[in-house]
Structure 1
Amino acid sequence: MTISTNNSKTIYSGTGRRKTSIARVKLVPGSGKLIINGLPGESYLQFSPNYLRVSCSPLKLLGLNKEYDIYVKAEGGGLTGQANAIKLGLTRALCEMNPENRTTLKAKGFLTRDARIKERKKYGLRKARKAPQYSKR
C-alpha cells in the first residue's frame, strides 16, 4: 500500500510474518537508518550482525542500502522470527515500489513466506508428539 505524505515523500509499506511474529514495514526515502519499535535497529536486535544482515538483505541485494529509511513495528515471537518477518515485509514494500524488483527478489527466495509454525499439543501426549513413557507391566 503506497501512502503519500504532505511533504511529497512517498511511503511504501509491506507486512511480513514468520512463526508468531508480525512486522509492519514502512520504507521512506532517507539515509539508510533502521528504526524498530522506536529504537535504533542495532539496539533492538541486540547488536547481532546476523539479525541485522537478515533484516536488511533485500535492500543490500538491490543496492539501495543508504537510500531508504526503514521504520518497523514488530510484535510477537522472538528476535529470529521478527528479523525474518522484517525481511519479508521489506521485500514486499520493495516490490510495491518497483515491480521490476520482484523478479530479482523472487529468484533469491525473499518473497517466500516461511509457513512453519509450532505444532499444537494433542491430548494424551506431553507435547505435540512426545508420548508418556510406555510401561508393559
Structure 2
Amino acid sequence: MAEVTNTLGRRKTAVARLYMTPGKGEIIINGREIKEYFPSEILQIIVNQPFALTKTEGAYDVKVNVDGGGIKGQAEAIRLAISRALQEIDSELRPPLKKEGFLTRDPRMVERKKPGRRKARRRFQFSKR
C-alpha cells in the first residue's frame, strides 16, 4: 500500500485533516470533488497554490475532511495542510513554501464580544439628551 501522509491545517475556526498519497492529482474534500465543493475558481486556486509553487500538480491524491468556519477559511486551512504534507514528503520544498508564507498558521481570530458593547469594540449610540 502507498505511503499516506497525514497533516492538519487550521484557519480561524476551520480545521482540515488531510491524507495525501502518491497518485494522479485527485482532490476529494468531504467526499466531494474540489470543483463541486468549491465552485468558486479563486478558492480552487488557493487550494492548489502549494502544488503550483512546487510544480507537483497531479503527483498526489488528496483526501480532506474539513469542518468549521466559512468556505474561505476552509480553503486556507486546506492550503496549510497541503503545504505541511509536501514539506513532510520532501524537505527540499520547505524554502519556497516558507517564502510564500504557506507554512505559517494565520493567527487572526474573531475578537470576542465584550459586555456593555454592541460588538467587540462597537459601542451603543451615545445620546446627549
TM above 0.5, one fold? yes
Q: For 2:95, give the aligned amino acid.
A: T
Among candidates 5, 15, 23, match of residue 8 of structure 2: 15
Instruction: Please state which structure has a larger fraction of its residues in helix.
Output: 2
Share of identical aligned residues, percent? Answer: 45
Corresponding residue SS for 1:55: helix
Give the corresponding residue for 2:23. Answer: 30
| Matched-pair contact (CA < 8 Å) for 1:19–1:115 | yes
Please give the TM-score of this superposition, normalised by the length of structure 2. Answer: 0.97
Give the corresponding residue for 1:126. Answer: 118
User: Structure 1 residue 48 and structure 2 residue 11: aligned?
Assistant: no
| Residues paired across the two proteins, number | 129
Please give the TM-score of this superposition, normalised by the length of structure 1. Answer: 0.91
Q: For 1:43, give the aligned amino acid.
A: E
| Matched-pair contact (CA < 8 Å) for 1:13–1:92 | no
Tell me the CA shift for residue 108 of structure 1: 1.1
| Matched-pair contact (CA < 8 Å) for 1:14–1:92 | yes
Tell me the CA shift for residue 60 of structure 1: 1.2
Q: For 2:77, give the aligned amino acid.
A: A
Describe the superposition over 1:16-50 as per-residue Cα deviations: whole angstroms up to 9, x where unpaired. 100100001111111101100011111011x2110
Structure 1 runs, 4 residues or longer, greater than 3 Å off: none
Runs (5+) with no aligned partner, structure 1: 1-6
